[in-house]
Structure formats: structure tokens, C-alpha cells
Structure 1
Amino acid sequence: MADFEVHVDTSEVPSPVRPRRDIVDGIRYIVDNGAKWRALPGDFPPWETVYGFFWRWNRAGVVTYIRDQLRRRIRTGKGRCPHPVALIVDSQSVKGASTVGKNSRGYDAAKKINGRKRHITVDTLGLPVMITVTPADVQDRDAARDVFWRLRLTQPQITQIWADRGYAGDLVDWARDRLWLNLRIVSRPKGTKGFVILPRRWKVERTIGWCMNARRNARDYERLPQHSEAHLNWALITTMTRRLTRKSPRTSQWTKKPSATG
């Protein structure tokens, strides 16, 4: 973690006996490099200590609290309301390692993947709002009922959600009648083949890509789905802290520079 990220990333974390920075650095090392907890280098506190804080912070809701606070800071910095009113939802099935128990894994027949499914909800900037992990055989529209209920309770200002065709059907009417949510299905244009950038949906796909940049998230290794959610949250926390502490906005490498005049 860079020096200028320390305050942004750990200001909401309860102070442990060991430096918070060392604890957070250890967790982020595991997530980013995909190492086992027992393989944590000696530069960090003992792996038992780092894992203990990872477990306690996640159980206490500290990780999701940090994620939400970072999202609000980014939105406010861009002149947006800190609380989004429109969201985008999508899912991703990933293979489960041998450490994933039978009671929390399943087979996604459409993707031919045996493992777990990640249901990720983001705002219109692609910033995470809610992450839920289920067995891979759970249909998107079935998982969405629980996700939408939780969103209505925690984000009562939300009025609209975009999704793909996996969420079509009775879910659209159910969301409108029960939760007063306008669920809009974004479909591929007829006759198109291959990769197509779809309005709104590309933002949640980009967020999924951010999660996959962390090696720990390349597949699911966790015994508990809650820990899978935590690793996804930590990967996105890293992405958001880097965005907040970026000294100047990135410019395209193709931006034409003015020629020097003599």
C-alpha cells in the first residue's frame, strides 16, 4: 500500500495492537497474489494474526462499510449524489477448488462450470454496491429476489436496475409490484455475433474484470461463501483507493500532443 493510501483505506478500521497498515497490507497481498494464508511472507505480521483480522472485520461488517464509504467518496468527488438511484446487476460463474464444499457449490449447465456464482451489483460508475456468492446452479432470477430485497432494505432510494436476459420473465413484474423497482432488460441487438458493447451492462462487466485482476479471485478457493465475498470486496477496495489517491486523471496514450515550436 502506498503512503497516500493509508488514511483513505484504514480510517474506518478499528485500531488493533499491530499497525493497521501492516494488517491491511497483508490482506491485500493475499488477495492480489493469490497466495495461501500460511504462505504470507515474513515482512507481514504472522498469518494467524492477519487472517484473524480478515475474519473478524468481515464478520463485523467493517469490509463492506469501507467499500461503501469509498464508493460515496468517489461519487461525491464526481459531483454525484453519494447514494445511487440506478444500479446494474450481473453474475459470473467461476470454478470451485477442492476446498469448496458440496453444500455451497453447484453446476452451471449453461457455462459448464462446477463451482460458485458471483452476483455483483454496481452503480452507474461501476462502483460496487452489493456482492453475493451462491452455488453456481442457482438461477440469476432466483438469486436476484434475495439481492433485490436486500437492496430495497439497505438502499431505499433505488428506483431502477439494468440487467441481462437472464433476469427477464416474472422477475420484472415481481420487482415492480413488490419492491417498486423498474427492472430494465438490456438485450443484444438482433443479428449481432461475437463481442458487442451493450449500454449500461458494460460497466458491471468492467467491474467483474477488476475483481479478476486479483489472482485470489481467478477461481473460488474459499470454504465459506462469505469469505469469497470478502475477497471480492477487498479487490474492489484496492481499485477504489487507487482511484481516490490518483494525483492526476489518466490520459489516453493516443492523445495528440502539441508539437514543440521553435
Structure 2
Amino acid sequence: MAADGSGPTRTGPKSPLTGAALRRAIMAIWCVCFCSLQWRAIGLLCDIPFGTLYTLFARWTRLGLWRRLLDCLIPAWRQVCGDKPRPSAVIVDSRSCHSAPTCFGRGFDGGKKIKGIKIHLAVDKYGFPLAITVSPANRHDSRGIVPVLHQLAGRGFKGTALGDLSYRGQRLSKAGEALGIAIQPSAGGHGGTFIPEGIRWIVERSLGWISRYLRLNTIFERTEAHLVAFIEIAFISILSRRFVRLLNPANQRPRPTNRL
């Protein structure tokens, strides 16, 4: 090109990924969530340009693909378990996570001594999220849960929301009643000891599930939508493995036996 003086020519848009390449791209995005690998590193490992991977992730997030997958998997799992597709009660709670200075927002949680962001969840009795929002860690639970209630009401949920004593207050109760959701706070422990009560402990298990995904322990995302997308990817992964074990009994884990 330098010899004849011609400039670079555009060959047109790249062909979309299909088949094995598309599966590799999806697994690469999952590895970013589970192992917290850098986009450039996972691009080298799967032999796909990291720009292509990040563009796919951003585009699918913008189109709401992850949320739509969850909206298909959660009712299907509830029906497999012999339950109705829509729950009559949800459990709400939050988790504070450390975040990098480049994160979309940071705050200091004085109770847990964490500088970062806070994840707010509303899950059903099986532990799968029906609504997810994020906020700076210095936002109180009674304020941070309001967008979650709006998401639940937008999806047609009418019922009870169970939570700890952080969700008590007349203002939050009135906000829930306006949306058709009754807030029922209750004590979850005594003297610093956690005491399971009813089904309210299930949200603690859900928060423990996402703590296994390293991308969700220290937050580096620059936008709230990308962080919510990684949380949804984590739960999609959990539900997918459950369906695989259900369809292939040979892949089920053996139950531990008590040895005397």
C-alpha cells in the first residue's frame, strides 16, 4: 500500500457471529462475570477481538436480552416445581460491595464500613430475582428499595414484600400501598445472631450465590446497566445449570449421606 500510494479500503460490515463462534462469545462473557477476567485477556483466550465481545455485551444489555431470558427461565422453573408462574410474595434485601474509583457511583456504608455501591434485590421463594437495582452504598435501604418496588409494580406484581427492619417506616409503607405492595418488615436476628424466619432467609442465600461471581465482589462497571446485566447473567447461569441437571439425571450431584 505504501509502494503504490493507495489507502486502506473498507470491506463492509463484518459478518455476525454464528455457530461455534457465537457460543464462544457467550462463554467468554460468562467468564468475565465468573472469573472477573479483563476483556482484553478473555479476547485473547477465545480468539475473538475484545472489542467484538464488549460490543456484543453492551448491545445485548441495551436490548434487555438478559432480563428477557430471566423472565422466561424463572416462570418455567416455578412451574417445574409445581408452583404458579407469578409469586404472591417477594423477599427484599440489599448487599454493599466495594467498588473502584472509576465506578459509576460510590458511597460509604457506615454500618458495614464499605465504600462502594449497594445492590437491591427482590426475589421469590426460590431465590431468583424479579427486580434488581443498584445505588451508592450510602443510600438507606428504605430509599434504595423504592425503584425495586416500581419495577415489581411495572411487571404486574401485587402482593407482599418481606424484609428486615431496615424497611420499616410510614413513608415507605405508603409508597408500597400506592403501588399495591404491602411491606412487612420483621427482625432477622437477636443479639447479633442471624435467626431464619419463614422464607425471609432466602434472599440471604441469593446474595451468597452472586458473591461466588468475582465480577460482583469488587465493582468496576462504569454504568448501572452493565452491573445489573452481570447480576442477571449470574442468575441465568445458576438457573441454566439447574435445568441441565433436571433434564439429565446423570449429571445430578449425589446427595451427602450422614456417616455415623
Gaps of 5+ in 2: 1-14
Give the Cα separation in 2 of the matches to 1:68 and 1:200.
22
Any idea what the Cα deviations from partners look like across 1:226-249, whole Å, max 9, x if unmatched?
Answer: 111111111111111000110335
Amino acid at match of 1:17: L
Amino acid at match of 2:31: Y
Amino acid at match of 1:141: S
Any idea what the Cα deviations from partners look like across 1:11-46, whole Å, max 9, x if unmatched?
Answer: xxxx94333312211100111111111111432422
Q: How many residues are paired up?
A: 238
Alignment of 1:31-46 (within 5 A): 31-40=33-42, 41-46=44-49
**Range 236-245 or range 169-178, more displaced:** 169-178
1:77 lines up with 2:76 in the alignment: no
The aligned counterpart of 1:53 is 56
Give the Cα separation in 2 of the matches to 1:130 and 1:147.
6
1:171 deviates by 4.2
Higher Cα Rg: structure 1 or 2? 2
Gaps of 5+ in 1: 1-14, 257-262
The aligned counterpart of 2:146 is 145
1:161 lines up with 2:161 in the alignment: yes
Give the Cα separation in 1 of the matches to 2:187 and 2:23.
44
Quick one: higher RCO (CA 8 Å, sep 6+), 1 or 2?
1
TM-score (norm 1): 0.84
Match of 2:66 among 54, 63, 68: 63
The RMSD of aligned alpha carbons is 2.0
- State, as a whole percentage, how many aligned pairs show the same letter: 31
Any idea what the Cα deviations from partners look like across 1:99-129, whole Å, max 9, x if unmatched?
Answer: 214xx21111111111100001111111111
**1:158 and 1:83, CA in 2 relative to 1: closer, same or farther beyond 3 A?**
same
Give the Cα separation in 2 of the matches to 1:107 and 1:235.
25
1:219 deviates by 1.4
TM-score (norm 2): 0.85
Alignment of 1:1-262 (within 5 A): 16-19=16-19, 20-40=22-42, 41-101=44-104, 104-154=105-155, 156-188=156-188, 191-246=190-245, 247-248=248-249, 250-254=253-257
**1:172 and 1:225, CA in 2 relative to 1: closer, same or farther beyond 3 A?**
closer
Secondary structure at 1:42 match in 2: helix
Give the Cα separation in 2 of the matches to 1:106 and 1:255.
46
Give the Cα separation in 1 of the matches to 2:68 and 2:97.
26
**1:176 and 1:67, CA in 2 relative to 1: closer, same or farther beyond 3 A?**
closer
Decide whether the 8 Å contact of 1:186 with 1:199 is kept in 2.
no
**1:163 and 1:44, CA in 2 relative to 1: closer, same or farther beyond 3 A?**
farther
1:195 deviates by 3.5
Give the Cα separation in 1 of the matches to 2:117 and 2:233.
18
1:176 deviates by 4.9
Give the Cα separation in 1 of the matches to 2:111 and 2:79.
39
